[in-house]
Every structure is written in structure tokens, then in C-alpha cells.
Homo-oligomer: A and B are copies of this chain.
Amino acid sequence: METGRSPEIRKDAIHNRWVIFSPARARRPSDFKSKSDSNSNSKTQTECPFCADHEHECAPEIFRFPPESTSDWQIRVIQNLYPALSRELEPSNNQCGGGPVTVTGFGFHDVVIESPAHPIHLTDLSPVQVAEVLLAYKKRIDQLRAFDSIKYVQVFKNHGASAGASLSHSHSQIMALPVVPPTAAARIQSMKEYFGQTGKCGLCQARQDDLFVDGSIHFISIVPFAATFPFEIWIVPRDHSSHFHELDNDKALDLGGLLKLMLVKMSLQLNNPPYNFMIHTAPLQIDSTQLPFTHWFIQIVPQLTVVGGFELGTGCYINPVIPEDAAKVLREVSIP
């Protein structure tokens, strides 16, 4: 199989959506086995490239925290060794037209190592340490948004093999894209319509008591009214804010506490499930008319069910848990 090719982004003209083709990804550890093997792949501590003292096995570092630290670093932001998009390509303009459409796979793909120690998970960190991880995302986004050709930055975390993680050492990823991806485009369109109808931001309004899980000074956590997945949680800034990178130190600390609390509650209530979280923010280059209806939030999804042919076929999801019931269960978890 050819793997020396550069990544490219192709348009599926049947469904009008983009797919990233990245042969380099095929080489990364633990890919291309049937899913059923996927639990057998976690590296042991001695061979993990993300552990302290293995820095030389990683792709180049972008920065670390604390900045001046040597072997005592707490967080490292590094390049992904098997990037889905390449920072070395010339960005190409989106093309339109009837035939097969391909654009070059320009973009950035980074990894955030959240701790130097292999057994430490995000839930083991203190709120201050979780805040430092959030501020590392912000710092990297601030660097990436300096590029005109970057339209969107997606921060996400995979925890556990069936949430997609190929490495078990606690980490998250940052991808900077040359296009606004479908979910972000649909969200901005939908929020715009809601704003047009009501004069209000849909996420400023999402505060029903029966969907409330918990709150901090600056954030609330809820189960969304039409949650796609069972026990899905959203953490939403109380004050209207379009971009995650507006987060300041105070809010980061506050959010660090609430994010940790949600992950701990989920882990206790749902038997330490694999999970993903995604930071949903506004496209980088929105104009001032779009600010009133864009509102960033974090979506946390425990992986409890498997997507089947119905969801793949229709794009419509079946959730067996009524959101009000999920919110009640999560509200009532008591932390020992």
C-alpha cells in the first residue's frame, strides 16, 4: 500500500462532505487491527513515547509547561508524528464544480501530553493542573489563528480504546483545519436561524432546571435537551462568549474544577467508561454580526453504545436515555 503520499482532502459529491485522506496515519501504532483487538494495544510504561524521559521518541515539541522546565515538565505540546494534515503543504483554495474535487491536506495536527506520568489520568489532576491543560490549548490556538489559511481549530480528547485512543498515556489533540468543518458550519447556521426567530443566543437560553447537572461561578454543566448520546454532558460558559480562546486565567481555573468534577461523576456513575470530549468553538474568521449567536462549549461523550448501521445510514441517532433522566442521575452522584 502506498503510504508516501501527502494528505489530501476530497469532496464526496454525493453527500457534499469532505473526507481527509492521510496515508501517514496508517503507519501509526495500533491502527488497522479489527476493533475487537483494540484493547490489547495499550503500550506499557517502558515503551510509551509520551512518558517523561522518552521525549526523544516524539515528534518535535512546540512548547512545554512550565516554559523553563527541564525534566520536570507538567505538560508538553508536540507535533503529531503521524499527522492527518501536513504543515508543509501549500494551502489550496477550495474548488467548486461538478467533478471529483480534491484539495491538498494543509493543516496542523498536534498532541497535548497532559502529564509526564503514565498512570495519571485527567481526573487525577488538580483543578489547577486541569486549568493548565486548558490554557495550553488556548496558547496553541493563539499561535494557530495567526495563519490566515486556518479556518477552524478542533480540540479533542480520546480516552480509552473504544473512544478511539491508540495510546493510553493521558493526552488530547489539536487540529487546525483549512476549512470550516460540517458540524461547525451547521451549528452556526442553526444558531443564526434561532437568533433570527428569537433574538437570543440558543446556548445562553439552554438553562432548563431539569437538564442542569452542576455549576461553577462562570460555567454550567447540563445534559442537552436533544443529547445525541446517553449521558452526554455540555459545559457552557454562563456569559456569552464566541471563542474558547477568550478564556482567561480565572475562568480557566473555574472550568478546570467543573470539567474535573464532570469527568469524576461520569466515571463513578458509569463505571469508568471510555470517553471523548470536544471543544466546540466558532470559526476563527467570523465577523461581528456573527458574534451574538456563536457561543463556545465543551461536549463530553461517554462511549456506552456502539454506532450501528442505522446511525451510519441516516445520520440520525437513537438515544435510549431521556436527557432529564441522565441529568438527574448525574446530579445525584455523590463524590466520596
**A280 in contact (CB, < 8 A):** yes
Closest to A317 in B: B19
Taking CB atoms, residues of chain B closer than 8 Å to A146 are none
Chain B proximity mask over A129-162: 1 for CB below 8 Å, otherwise 0: 0000000000000000000000010101110111
Q: A10-B225, A34-B162 are in contact. List 6 more A-B contacts (CB 8 A).
A: A1-B325, A13-B190, A19-B227, A21-B319, A25-B318, A165-B308
With A15-B187, A177-B314, A225-B10 as known contacts, state yes or no: A35 contacts B306, CB within 8 Å.
Answer: yes
Residue contact B276 to A183, C-beta cutoff 8 Å: no
Taking CB atoms, residues of chain B closer than 8 Å to A305 are 31-32, 35
Residue contact A187 to B25, C-beta cutoff 8 Å: no
**Assembly CA distance A283 to B17 (angstroms):** 20
**Residues of A297-336 whose CB lies within 8 A of B:** 299, 301, 303-310, 312-323, 325, 329
Q: List 20 A-B contacts (CB under 8 A).
A: A12-B226, A14-B203, A19-B226, A19-B318, A20-B319, A21-B323, A22-B319, A23-B321, A31-B305, A32-B320, A36-B274, A98-B197, A156-B309, A156-B313, A164-B307, A181-B316, A183-B316, A276-B308, A276-B309, A299-B312
| Copies of this chain assembled into the complex | 2
**Assembly CA distance A172 to B303 (angstroms):** 23
Residue contact B15 to A173, C-beta cutoff 8 Å: no
**A67 in contact (CB, < 8 A):** no
Q: Is the interface of A mostly helix, strand, loop or mixed?
A: mixed
**A111 in contact (CB, < 8 A):** no
Taking CB atoms, residues of chain B closer than 8 Å to A325 are 1-2, 23
**Residues of A158-197 whose CB lies within 8 A of B:** 158, 160-165, 172-173, 175, 177, 181-184, 186-187, 189-191, 193-194, 197
Taking CB atoms, residues of chain B closer than 8 Å to A304 are 32-35
Least Cβ–Cβ distance between A209 and chain B, in angstroms: 13
Residue contact A309 to B14, C-beta cutoff 8 Å: no
**A125 in contact (CB, < 8 A):** no
Least Cβ–Cβ distance between A167 and chain B, in angstroms: 12
Residue contact A84 to B318, C-beta cutoff 8 Å: yes
Number of interface residues of A (CB under 8 A): 105
Residue contact B278 to A312, C-beta cutoff 8 Å: yes
A residues with a Cβ closer than 8 A to B are 1-2, 5, 10-26, 31-36, 38-39, 84, 97-98, 100, 152, 154, 156-158, 160-165, 172-173, 175, 177, 181-184, 186-187, 189-191, 193-194, 197-198, 200, 202-203, 206, 208, 224-228, 230, 270-274, 276-280, 299, 301, 303-310, 312-323, 325, 329
Closest to A32 in B: B304
Least Cβ–Cβ distance between A176 and chain B, in angstroms: 12
Residue contact A15 to B322, C-beta cutoff 8 Å: no
Taking CB atoms, residues of chain B closer than 8 Å to A161 are 36, 306
